[in-house]
Amino acid sequence: MSRKILIVLSEWGFWGEELIGPLEVFDAAGYESTFATPTGKRPVAITVSKDASYVDPPLGRPVTTAEMAAKVQAIDDPANPRLNNPINLSTWFPMQPYWSAPEVLRQWENYYRDVARAQEQIQQYDALLMVGGSGPLVDMANNHRIHELIFGFLRQDKPVAAECYAVTCLAFARDLNDRKSIIWGKRVTGHCKEYDYLDGTGFMESYNQFLNFNMGPPPYPLEYILRDATGPDGGYLGNVGRETSVIVDYPFITGRSTPDSILTGQMVVEVLERGLRRYGW
């Protein structure tokens, strides 16, 4: 039976190679990939991730090959149906009620009941991948539906992978009882401080419908968040100066940035097929 991977993408712009890299690995392994977005809109690739001439300012060099740019343009083409009709997470998982709402206790009882019912649908998937880019800052990092999705995979002891700025979803996924991050005590990687933009033209050249905007520098340094979220017994590994940085600390698989995309996909396969539990630390 073929493995099934659920891939969550931002509607505000994913980095093209961070989808293409693992997706090609999954395709080669014969896996079936299903896509999901926060509100069911077709995801879009960040403009610069389709441009082989774009120079990444922190690295001082182009980060997208002509071949990869062509692949990203192809999958991002509206005429290409592959990313059409993604699962709508807003209809799969309920919205958390406000504590000021009338009959709030009844609403929370209904919420947890609906979440448990929604998480049953995760049984058909073998792993979760959250693709990075600037968009996840907007509609994934603090999205409680995505957090409940992650918890569903963890409760079924299934691997959860995240790339670049999507790793923040792991840092912010917390049980409301203890407020502790699910990566507390774990080793992870993610976009390091040395690779952060000083100006956001390339960082946030993303769009939703017809809206373009420049956020400036990233609204938070991911490295600092991950260092705090992993606690004294875990740790953040940036591997600055090394070409790749992918960490497996089961059930989590984390990739630092664009060059780690293929390796992130390969580690998902290693975890599923050969029981890998630790890599990169």
Amino acid letter, 273: E
CB 143 within 8 A of CB 168: no
Q: Note the pTM of the prediction, 2 decimals.
A: 0.95
Q: What pLDDT, on a 0 to 100 scale, did the predictor assign at position 129?
A: 99
CB 96 within 8 A of CB 145: no
Low-confidence residues of the chain, pLDDT below 50?
204, 206-211
Q: What pLDDT, on a 0 to 100 scale, did the predictor assign at position 206?
A: 44
Q: What pLDDT, on a 0 to 100 scale, did the predictor assign at position 210?
A: 43
Q: What pLDDT, on a 0 to 100 scale, did the predictor assign at position 212?
A: 55
* CATH number of the structural domain spanning residue 48: 3.40.50.880
Q: What pLDDT, on a 0 to 100 scale, did the predictor assign at position 219?
A: 84
CB 251 within 8 A of CB 157: yes
Give the pLDDT confidence of 240-275 residue by residue, as tens digits.
999 999 999 999 999 999 999 999 999 999 999 999
CB 34 within 8 A of CB 89: no
Number of structural domains in the chain: 1
Q: What pLDDT, on a 0 to 100 scale, did the predictor assign at position 208?
A: 46
Does a cis peptide bond (omega within 30 degrees of 0) precede residue 251? yes
Domain that holds residue 154: 4-279
